[in-house]
Amino acid sequence: MQLAPIFSLSALALMLLLGGCGTTMPVTETAFLSSYTGLSETPDGAARQRRTTLPIDPASIVIEDPEWRGAMTDADLGERVVLLARLKQTLRTEIGRLPAARAARKVRIRSAITRVVPVSPALNTVATLMLIGPVDRGGAAVEIEAIDVDTGKQLAALNMGYYAPVSDLKARFATFAPAALAIDKAASSFAPLLFPADAVAPTLVP
């Protein structure tokens, strides 16, 4: 019996199945955001968001320390600290790339990691050695909002869950690498929401 073709067909079928799963992680309302009213689903269904209708100057933004709203069993203390720090730093980087705007309002950014799905490097290694390929995937869910300091009004918001894409094989062999990718994705998706849709598209600073 020729097993190689069978393994090859099985691997191909599994990779196609995983590829079809997409990167969207279902999200829920965790009560972290000040309001979920008015958030609209993105065309690809990957997130719910609100874009500001008022200009915001990046220089007037204060990014508060992100909060951990996920299960304590999702990650140990050390990993939670690392992931939260990554979220704040990535937000600072992405927001810092936005152009200046004529706006006097002060804005604070609140954010939270609400879910983390780690991967099992051992399981993915065994699956790869069996010519199946990594079968365990991971990611994270993140909620972010911009609040007008003076009025307390929510100006922009994002509620997003993201699984690392099947094409990113390297991330499937480090426990929290997919979660880090998801955090980066959330931060880069949120920053453009700080620019009004009816304004000229911002030219991001490299």
- Answer yes or no: pTM beyond 0.95: no
Task: State the architecture of 3-194 in CATH terms.
Answer: 3-Layer(aba) Sandwich (3.40)
pLDDT at 21: 54
**Residue-by-residue pLDDT tens, the chain, 206 positions:** 444 444 444 444 444 444 445 777 788 899 999 999 999 998 888 899 999 998 899 999 999 999 999 887 778 899 999 999 999 999 999 999 998 888 778 999 999 999 998 875 444 444 454 555 545 578 899 999 999 999 999 999 999 998 877 665 555 556 688 899 999 999 999 999 999 977 655 555 55
pLDDT at 167: 64
Give Dmax over CA atoms of the chain in angstroms.
75
pLDDT at 8: 44
